[in-house]
Amino acid sequence: MTDQRKPFVVGAYYESSEDKQAFLRKVFDDTAKHYEAIAKWGWFGSGDWYRREALRRNGVTADMRVLDVASGTGQVARALMQILNSPEQVECVEPSAGMIEESKKIVPVVHHQAAAENLPVDSESFDFLTMGFALRHVDNLETSFREFRRVLKDGGTVLIMDVTVPSGTIPRFFFRMYFKYLLPFFSGLLTWDRNVFLLMRYYWDSMDQMVDIDGILENLRRAGFTQVQHKALLGCFSEYTARR
Ligand SMILES: C[S@@+](CC[C@H](N)C(=O)[O-])C[C@H]1O[C@@H](n2cnc3c(N)ncnc32)[C@H](O)[C@@H]1O
């Protein structure tokens, strides 16, 4: 099991946790204008539907206040707005100014420019906290999960959605072909932007080297969460839930 008290570093791209956050901020700033399109064609248009269903399935209800961490261009916030009574019930946290700028065009909610490790919101102020597809970008999982617990009300729920590389030889082969070669190539070609190619190459490398499922569950427990669970859909969509 990987010890996530140490920073998670993918060596070919950066060497320290400071470099990592600077690298991520730059690559997401540089590619923000293309992100919506890549996310749509990369996942064959399933993204909005999947996020909405995952939120409903894991207990988001119309009256809740929800914090979405690593909100990107607002995909999870957009799905939340279809469930909640009012956009005022959602707040987003995202470190990349470029991603926030794109997000503001789509979701009329409060955006905070910050990282998961240090949330600029009051303690015990949210019923539900979501983080979509950003586990491998967060520098220190235990510190971040402690922050998640701090800002949730008693009984509040955290839902973390992410991709897991399938374990079977054949599914893993196809997954690798698609994410390591096809998606970076076609994303780079269609956008004609080398930053997009870099992002999508990093996407696979960071996914491949990501902390394993047990490591994520262990970090949630260490941060003080209870009822810690993991579900996998189609062998590659992971949903982690836990209660404060
Ligand atoms: C793949 S995008 C996911 C966006 C969105 N949540 C979704 O469901 O598509 C990952 C996001 O994580 C953000 N990120 C990177 N480092 C982060 C950190 N330390 N804390 C919070 N978010 C971070 C990036 O800027 C990027 O917008």
Residue with tokens 């994303």: 187
pLDDT at 66: 98
Pocket of ligand 1 from Cβ distances under 6 Å: 24, 28, 39, 69-72, 75-76, 94-96, 99, 115-116, 132-134, 137-139
Banded pLDDT at 93 (limits 50, 70, 90): very high
pLDDT at 222: 97
Interval 208-222 mean pLDDT = 90
Q: Per mean pLDDT, which range of 24-38, 61-75, 114-128, 164-178 is the poorest?
A: 164-178
pLDDT at 6: 43
Bridge partners of 233, per DSSP, are 237
Banded pLDDT at 172 (limits 50, 70, 90): confident
Q: What residue ranges in the chain does DSSP mark as E strands? A: 66-69, 90-93, 110-112, 126-132, 152-163, 226-233, 237-243
- Please tell me the distance from the alpha carbon of residue 158 to that of residue 239, in angstroms, as a whole number: 10
Please report which residue ranges of 116-161 form alpha helices under DSSP H.
Answer: 141-151
What are the residues whose beta carbons fall under 8 Å from the beta carbon of 174, sequence distance 6 or more?
A: none
> Which has more confidence, 210 or 242?
242
- Please tell me the distance from the alpha carbon of residue 107 to that of residue 200, in angstroms, as a whole number: 25
pLDDT at 45: 61
Q: What percent of the chain has pLDDT over 90?
A: 60
Neighbours of 166 (CB within 10 A): 17
Bridge partners of 93, per DSSP, are 69, 112
- Please tell me the distance from the alpha carbon of residue 81 to that of residue 178, in angstroms, as a whole number: 31
Banded pLDDT at 44 (limits 50, 70, 90): low
Per DSSP, 93 falls in state: E
Domains in the chain, start-ordered, CATH in brackets?
17-166+201-243 (3.40.50.150)
pLDDT at 7: 41
Closest protein CA for atom 23 of ligand 1: 70
Interval 160-178 mean pLDDT = 88
- Give the phi and the psi of residue 190 in degrees, each rounded to 5: -70, -30
What does each C-alpha distance from 209 to 54, 92, 135, 165, 222 come to in angstroms?
Answer: 25, 27, 11, 10, 22
Q: How far is the CA of 132 from the centre of ligand 1 (A)?
A: 7
| Mutation pick for ligand 1 pocket among 94, 196, 198 (CB with most ligand atoms within 8 Å) | 94
Closest protein CA for atom 4 of ligand 1: 72
Kindly list the strands in the beta sheet with 152-163, ordered across the sheet, starting from the edge strand earlier in the chain. 110-112, 90-93, 66-69, 126-132, 152-163, 237-243, 226-233
141 pLDDT above the threshold of 80: yes
Q: How far is the CA of 228 from the centre of ligand 1 (A)?
A: 22
- The whole-model pTM stands at 0.91
For the CA of 99, the closest atom of ligand 1 is 27
Banded pLDDT at 11 (limits 50, 70, 90): low
pLDDT in tens, 182-192: 888 888 888 89
